[in-house]
């Protein structure tokens, strides 16, 4: 049984992922009376003017499956799709990693598939359409330099896969230092990805900022938990996935 909202009030939370419209996790936390500090440490820099990006958008009808890995990818892609494809190609099947990205895309294409219980790459790969994607042409809309698991696994299953990199994720060192300065005065650090954990750096490097404070790290998967552990974080709470409700539930369990 989870703690009542008033027992969450006053807890101190540091969230470090990039800003997004209508961040449900932040809104839920604030509504519970939690002292939320949001310090985005990775900048999202669109590269939608790149000629290669526009060329791939124009050739969208040559693909069987389109996968959007993030809200940022969906948002940037929609602007380009409106120019080249006011209506999506009829045969195109669209997939997302998470529910929020699916909701963003639905005004453009009504049928969007996503893993409902396991909102990550592994969950997407469990969908029936990806069990035997032999000879399917797949385009993955993403930010550059992410995990290669999705591409590699689809290729191993017989698909032909291309990337369309719509943005770059760049660590903002000034913001990282601002986040470090909060570490002595928080109860929880929320890191939605391994990339965010690595950007924060190893505990040994930031001990002077932590001082004697004891805080827990909330992460969306066992994979990210392992990264946090390798970096020296000892108190780690693992959510079922990165969905806002699941991350909030993990926060409740940890109090």
Contacts of 177 (CB under 8 A, 6+ apart): none
Q: Cα–Cα distance between 88 and 23 in angstroms, integer?
A: 27
- Reading the block at residue 180, the tokens are 């470090």
> What phi-psi label fits residue 104: left (phi over 0), alpha (psi between -120 and 50 degrees) or beta?
alpha
Q: Cα–Cα distance between 200 and 232 in angstroms, integer?
A: 11
Q: Look at residue 75 in the predicted model and tell me its pLDDT.
A: 94
Which has the closest alpha carbon to 21: 84, 87, 67, 74? 74
Q: Look at residue 5 in the predicted model and tell me its pLDDT.
A: 53
Delineate the domains of the chain, giving CATH numbers in brackets. 5-41+172-254 (3.40.50.10090), 45-170 (3.40.50.10090)
Find the distance separating the first CA and the last CA of the chain, reported in whole Å: 12
- Predicted TM-score of the model (pTM): 0.87
Which has the closest alpha carbon to 72: 179, 164, 176? 164
pLDDT tens track for 19-59: 887 789 999 999 999 999 999 999 999 987 789 999 999 99
Which has the closest alpha carbon to 176: 188, 161, 189? 189
Q: Look at residue 243 in the predicted model and tell me its pLDDT.
A: 87
| Rounded (10°) angle between helices 24-31 and 244-254 | 40
Q: Look at residue 3 in the predicted model and tell me its pLDDT.
A: 47
CB 250 within 8 A of CB 238: yes
With vertex at residue 11, the alpha carbon angle to CA 7 and CA 17, rounded to the nearest 5 degrees, is 130
CB 166 within 8 A of CB 47: yes
What DSSP string describes 104-126?
Answer: HHTTT-S-EE--SS--SHHHHHT
Residues of the chain with pLDDT under 70: 1-6, 255
Q: Cα–Cα distance between 134 and 158 in angstroms, integer?
A: 4
40 backbone dihedrals φ, ψ, rounded to 5°:
-65, 125
CA-CA-CA-CA torsion for 115, 70, 21, 245, nearest 10 degrees? Answer: 30
Q: Cα–Cα distance between 11 and 143 in angstroms, integer?
A: 33
């Amino acid at each position: 049984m989870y703690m009542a909202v008033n027992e969450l009030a006053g807890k101190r939370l540091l969230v470090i992922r990039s800003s997004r419209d209508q961040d449900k996790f932040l809104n839920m936390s604030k509504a519970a009376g939690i002292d939320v500090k949001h310090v985005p440490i990775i900048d999202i820099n669109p590269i939608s003017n790149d000629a290669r990006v526009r060329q791939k958008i124009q050739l969208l009808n040559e693909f069987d499956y389109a996968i959007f890995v993030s809200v940022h990818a969906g948002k940037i892609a929609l602007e380009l799709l409106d120019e080249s494809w006011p209506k999506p190609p009829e045969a195109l099947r669209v997939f997302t990693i998470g529910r929020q990205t699916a909701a963003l895309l639905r005004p453009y294409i009504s049928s969007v598939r996503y893993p409902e219980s396991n909102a990550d790459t592994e969950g997407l790969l469990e969908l029936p359409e990806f069990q035997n994607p032999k000879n399917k042409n797949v385009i993955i809309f993403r930010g550059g330099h992410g995990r290669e698991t999705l591409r590699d696994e689809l290729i191993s299953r017989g698909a032909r896969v291309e990337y369309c990199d719509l943005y770059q994720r760049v660590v903002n060192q000034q913001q990282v230092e601002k986040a470090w300065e909060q570490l002595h005065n928080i109860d929880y650090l929320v890191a939605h990805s391994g990339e965010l954990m690595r950007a924060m750096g190893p505990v040994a490097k930031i001990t002077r900022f932590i001082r004697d404070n004891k805080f827990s790290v909330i992460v969306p998967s066992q994979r990210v938990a392992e990264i946090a552990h390798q970096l020296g974080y000892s108190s780690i709470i693992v959510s079922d996935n990165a969905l806002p409700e699941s991350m909030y539930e993990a926060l409740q369990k940890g109090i």
